[in-house]
Amino acid sequence: MRTRFIFLIAIWIIGWLNITIAQEPILRQYAVGDWTSGAFITACIHPNGGYLVLGSANSWQQGTRTALFRLDNEGDTLWTKAYWRHDLGDRWPIDMTTAQDGSGFYILMGNAIPTIQYNAVLKVNLEGDSLWQTQVSNSTDQWVNAPFNAIGSLEDGGCVVAGNGYFFDNPPLVTALSSGGQIQWNNAISPSGAYSHYKRIRQGPDSHLFAVGTHSSYDPGMNHSRMMISKFSGSGTLLWSRQFNSGTPLSGDMRLSEGHDVLPLADGGCIITGYLTDPGITFQGQTIVRRLDQDGNEVWTKTWFAHPNDLSTGFNLQPSGSGNFLVFLHQYGSSAAGATLMKCSMDGDSIWTQWGYDYPIRMKEVQNNGQILMTGYAPSSPYGIFIRTSPDGTGSAPYNSDNKLRGLLITSMWPIFAPARVDRRRSLDRSRCSIV
């Protein structure tokens, strides 16, 4: 009996240690490229625990490669794999999502051989081995034809990509693929414009798809950049599409705007974010966040962080439990270059704010325990950055000297070093590379 009791205590201690380790913040740099250019693009929670991180690796005579880093719960590398083209061809990563059926991951990438360009979706299994690749844009000898910007997973196990049909003078385009790589449907919406395109696409809990981006126009009497949001059925039928800040010089609404992310909601509506410039000024303005109902009607609009000579842009949205959401935004201009994390209620009111993140950092996913995953890069270096913050919302207070470690912050700018741990042994393992 005593032996059994000791055994149970030992199991409890081991479990407690594993949970504690999994909840510790992580801030690490990993050597991705060979020279001065490497970056982490995005990160996904791995179904078997830990994470899969998508990186861009530049090399001297092999062009740009797509790299995968498999990390455990402590941030240690389990394996790395790379996908590239022979000679000077490029194969660069754009976005990644987890297959909802648990079969692997979908990677959206661009390809150049070396002047012909196109987009392709690569599916890999849970160990990073390639299963299939499907070309989703037409090959061309022009540099403009890798126009897809985002990929999202579908509840049927497939995926959907969004962007633009052919870069210039073509409509925004959405394409769905099955879990086996077959193209299921395409939908190009009108009107087209100088460079109208989607930047993010997500499927909501009711199977509807939301795509957000920008509508552009050559017309000098119209705003040449307008926030655009479209809602599709699960089979690709356009339900509605909205544009904002589409006035004329005489209407007093000459403010440029772009959409960068969308968060579908349980009521069939969504929240979108991007930027809104000051009237008549292109590179000065605020982060804008809008909530829309299921029919695309505006519920509320918030703008934040207006500073003279700076442009503040909302880049990422994520749910945060208890009916709240997170906004990750960037400020850039003559007076600032950094990023801010905000937690907001569904009414758009700020609950707390953390600032001090470096400009190249992006928010990616939120774990069930509230920890936030972020990726980025160290400027002018081969290092990719991976961050896991502590659980959000503790104390629900703004950033200050007493609670600034609630979220792990990077405070240096050029380059990012302390307090990250640099381990060159975590560089790309060429013995585990695949050429496809």
Instruction: Work out the average pLDDT over 202-223.
Output: 82
Closest CA relative to residue 67, chosen from 436, 431, 433: 433
* Number of domain units in the chain: 1
Instruction: Work out the average pLDDT over 114-136.
Output: 90
- The predicted structure's pLDDT at residue 218: 60
Confidence category of residue 2, pLDDT binned at 50, 70, 90 = low
Confidence category of residue 415, pLDDT binned at 50, 70, 90 = very low
Instruction: Work out the average pLDDT over 166-171.
Output: 64
- pLDDT at position 410 over 60: no
**pTM (2 d.p.):** 0.83
Bigger pLDDT: 417 vs 46 = 46
Confidence category of residue 192, pLDDT binned at 50, 70, 90 = low
Bigger pLDDT: 419 vs 145 = 145
Tokens 């992580």, located at residue: 26
Measured from the Cβ of residue 288, the count of other Cβ atoms closer than 10 Å reads 26
Please give the order of strands across the beta sheet that includes 51-58: 38-45, 51-58, 64-71, 77-83
- The predicted structure's pLDDT at residue 259: 94
Bigger pLDDT: 206 vs 305 = 206
- The predicted structure's pLDDT at residue 74: 93
- pLDDT at position 21 over 60: no
At CB < 8 A and 24+ separation, what contacts does 386-389 make? 386/26, 386/27, 386/28, 386/30, 386/40, 386/43, 386/51, 386/53, 386/69, 386/71, 386/75, 387/25, 387/26, 387/27, 387/361, 388/25, 388/26, 388/75, 389/25
Dist. CA 216–CA 233, nearest whole Å:
24
**What letter would DSSP give residue 253?**
-
The one-letter amino acid code at 140 reads T
Confidence category of residue 71, pLDDT binned at 50, 70, 90 = very high
What are the φ/ψ torsions at residue 37 (nearest 5 degrees)? Answer: -140, 110
Beta bridge mates, 137: none
Q: What is the pLDDT of residues 88-102, one digit of tens each?
A: 678 889 999 999 999
- The predicted structure's pLDDT at residue 422: 28
- The predicted structure's pLDDT at residue 37: 74
- The predicted structure's pLDDT at residue 165: 61
Instruction: Work out the average pLDDT over 36-53.
Output: 92
- The predicted structure's pLDDT at residue 12: 54
Q: Which residues of 249-263 are buried (b: 16+ CB within 10 A; e: fewer)?
A: eeeeebbbbbbbbbb
- pLDDT at position 351 over 60: yes
Dist. CA 211–CA 63, nearest whole Å:
31
Whole-number average pLDDT of the chain: 79
Dist. CA 210–CA 208, nearest whole Å:
7
Q: 5 by DSSP, 3-state: which?
A: helix
Tokens 């119209």, located at residue: 222
Domain housing 107: 2-432
- The predicted structure's pLDDT at residue 90: 82
The one-letter amino acid code at 313 reads T
Bigger pLDDT: 359 vs 154 = 154
What CATH number has the domain bearing residue 108? Answer: 2.120.10.30
Confidence category of residue 51, pLDDT binned at 50, 70, 90 = very high
